[in-house]
Structure 1
Amino acid sequence: MKREQLTIFDSEAVRENLSYPDCIRVVRDAMMALSAGTTRQLLRTMISLGSGRTFAQMPGALGERDMFGTKAISVFADPHSPGLRRHRGLVVLFEPDQGRPVAIADAEEITHIRTAAATAVATDALARPDAKTLLIVGTGGQAHTHLKALPLIRDFKRVLIWGRSFDKAQALATDYPHLAAEAVADLPLAAAQADVICTLTTSATPVLLGEWLSRGTHVNLVGSSGPGRVEVDSALVAAGRYIADSRASALDAAAEFLVARDAGLIDGDHIVAEIGDVLNGTVPGRCSDEEITIYKSLGHAVQDLAAAAHLYRSSRR
């Protein structure tokens, strides 16, 4: 009997075939399905391999009769630049009829694109319709992908970029002349001017403080994906309408939420909804133009699998 070969998507194939509009669409559908209970996933498991070295697995299924699989990924700090971390691994996709593995995709590239796509989905649902100023906090790979995804859901008139290195922020801004992006040195001032803020850092301590924000700001917390590292202070968490990509995951691994809870500033009910609940219309997202909204992104297997399934099905067509 003839055996079908695995379809392989290396990093270049992922970049060429997983467009941001398509990824935004499939991630939106995946998050709606996750909150509706029609997809299944387990909390990620992480094995420490020493300081700055982690191996993680994220299994899930897109539905009872749909694709399923896992993401296996290493997260290693760069020995020459300890603040930088690489996410290297594979997304392995199985078909639902016979349980055959059908595709393997580069996990690092999928993670870069689907994370920004998920932020775009949340921003579209939670930011004010008239949001005009975007602030990117961080200058790494996720800054690039977010600068590609966020303008697809809002017509930003100003794009501000802040990094610990002003030179890196300036270099990043020059890569996006069509957005008229500009590097900024004064983060408090930029935060006060922004309508949408994305924190995309590896910082272990807060880089963004709640007292800097103006009313009506929407904040995407993306950089920290596990307990320990926090990008914003507890005052910001407590002040915002807090919406997670997954309630269970936030209670397990959302560092900023856990720190604020352990300090007694909030409790579990501070998570008002999952983003899928907002998209499904079961819980309102933004309740007023004055409200600060927060989206906590931890990343999920169903996002990776939805992206990989789209790649596979598109290649079959």
Structure 2
Amino acid sequence: MIIIDEVAARRLVSPADAIDAMDMAFREVSRDQARNYPVVRERLLPGPNVYGIKAGADLAIGLLGLKIGGYWTENRGRGLTNHQSTTVLTDPETGCPSALVSSNHLTGVRTAAACAIGIRELAREDARTLGLIGTGGQARHHIDAALLVRRFDRVLVANRDRARAEAFARTLDSTVPVEVVAVEEAARNADALITLTTAREPVVRADWIRPGTHISAMGADTVGKQELDADLLLRASVWVDDWAQASALGECQHAAKRGLTREAIRGTLCDVLDGKAVRRTRDDEITVFDSTGMAIQDLMIAAWAVRKAEAAGDGAVHRVDLARDLA
């Protein structure tokens, strides 16, 4: 079994790599090659921490495995990132574990890559202002990825705690001007808006969003989470990564209670990439990509890291023969 630690994972997988890997993962889902198994995603009551398991397979390309991890709200004070996760890849022929991959960085870049693909495929061609609401550990990844797929002229950064937004902005070395603004200002002025919070009630109101805006809603991935006013989804053109997950864990869970159905949305981003679903049809459409994150994304990005490590003979990659030890 190959073991890839966090330092190696950061070195091995770039934002551009992640976009290529997510593009492939989405297409595999559309072609019915990949399977995402039911998600376990639970709050660790009585506290606010969240723990989850995402498992899946793409036997056509030899992928089988799971990612474990979640969100620990107090980790920043411990010198750790709040998001913690690890991916285990399994040999589909034998059931033996083939790789153990630290996935904090990989989760960040794969989430950002999915967001960027949503912007690339669904935002207006003349979108020039990028807005970001939420400045946690994944925020930098999202800006980096979005700038790889579109030529934005400015970036608007917002957080409900303005001091945190200002501290985040000071860490950026973007070639595009970055402005710290209020949440409402970011929502009203962005051509492409990323929401990346842990909110459990809307932070973006429907009447703040102009016609023609694209929104990549990346924060809601657990029952009860919500970033967008449900009215916004009911009047927007909506795409998801996976309807079952989106309607149970994502932004669509709230709109579904008010009548949003699988038939009412435009389709999946997976099908957009494979030519089976339409993109935006008008410049004045409000478009929403509701992303909950699929197991196949985690498996694909972990396998990408493994392949690059093997090709490079990376010295930070460790090997353990668990099958021999267990025989």
Q: Establish whether residue 7 from structure 1 lines up as the match of residue 2 from structure 2.
A: yes
Distance 1:18 1:80 in 2: 24
Of 266, 270, 278, 1:284 maps to 278
Distance 2:105 2:75 in 1: 21
SS in 2 for 1:307: helix
Distance 2:199 2:85 in 1: 23
Tell me the equivalent position of 1:296. Answer: 290
Of 15, 34, 48, 1:20 maps to 15
Distance 1:195 1:49 in 2: 37
Distance 2:31 2:165 in 1: 40
Q: TM-score, normalised by structure 2?
A: 0.88
SS in 1 for 2:62: coil
Tell me the equivalent position of 1:120. Answer: 116
1:222-233 equivalences in 2 (<5 Å): 222-233=218-229
SS in 2 for 1:146: helix
Distance 1:132 1:12 in 2: 34
Distance 1:146 1:79 in 2: 21
Tell me the equivalent position of 1:239. Answer: 235
Tell me the equivalent position of 1:3. Answer: none
Distance 2:293 2:21 in 1: 14
Unaligned stretches of 5+ in structure 2? Answer: 312-327
Distance 1:151 1:79 in 2: 29
1:249-268 equivalences in 2 (<5 Å): 249-254=245-250, 256-264=251-259, 266-268=260-262
Letter in 2 for 1:304: D
Closer/same/farther in 2, CA of residues 281 and 79 from structure 1, 3 Å limit: closer
Unaligned stretches of 5+ in structure 1? Answer: 1-5
Report how far residue 260 of structure 1 moved: 2.0
Distance 1:91 1:199 in 2: 25
Closer/same/farther in 2, CA of residues 76 and 310 from structure 1, 3 Å limit: same
Deviation per residue, 1:137-188 (Å, 9 max, x gap): 0111121110111100001001000111222212222222422111013x33
Of 111, 115, 125, 2:107 maps to 111
Aligned length, in residue pairs: 307
Report how far residue 79 of structure 1 moved: 7.9
Tell me the equivalent position of 1:199. Answer: 195
Tell me the equivalent position of 1:311. Answer: 305
SS in 1 for 2:284: coil
Quote the RMSD (CA, aligned, Å): 1.9
Report how far residue 37 of structure 1 moved: 0.6
Of 115, 118, 136, 2:132 maps to 136
Q: TM-score, normalised by structure 1?
A: 0.91
Of 173, 181, 204, 2:178 maps to 181
Deviation per residue, 1:116-153 (Å, 9 max, x gap): 01101111111112210000001111211101111000
SS in 1 for 2:266: strand
8 Å contact kept, 1:247–1:271: no
8 Å contact kept, 2:51–2:71: yes
Letter in 2 for 1:220: S
Closer/same/farther in 2, CA of residues 122 and 39 from structure 1, 3 Å limit: same
1:198-217 equivalences in 2 (<5 Å): 198-217=194-213
8 Å contact kept, 1:215–1:291: yes
Task: Please say which of residues 270-279 and 171-180 is displaced more in the overlay.
Answer: 171-180
Letter in 2 for 1:219: I
8 Å contact kept, 2:133–2:186: no
8 Å contact kept, 1:163–1:169: yes
Letter in 2 for 1:180: P
Percentage of matched positions with identical amino acids: 33
1:61-80 equivalences in 2 (<5 Å): 61-78=57-74
8 Å contact kept, 2:157–2:180: yes
Report how far residue 312 of structure 1 moved: 0.8
Q: Establish whether residue 162 from structure 1 lines up as the match of residue 158 from structure 2.
A: yes
Distance 2:70 2:237 in 1: 32
Deviation per residue, 1:26-73 (Å, 9 max, x gap): 111101111221111202113443132333111111234512111111
Report how far residue 189 of structure 1 moved: 3.0
Tell me the equivalent position of 1:31. Answer: 26
Deviation per residue, 1:62-96 (Å, 9 max, x gap): 23451211111143332898xx9823231011234
Letter in 2 for 1:278: V
Tell me the equivalent position of 2:86. Answer: 90
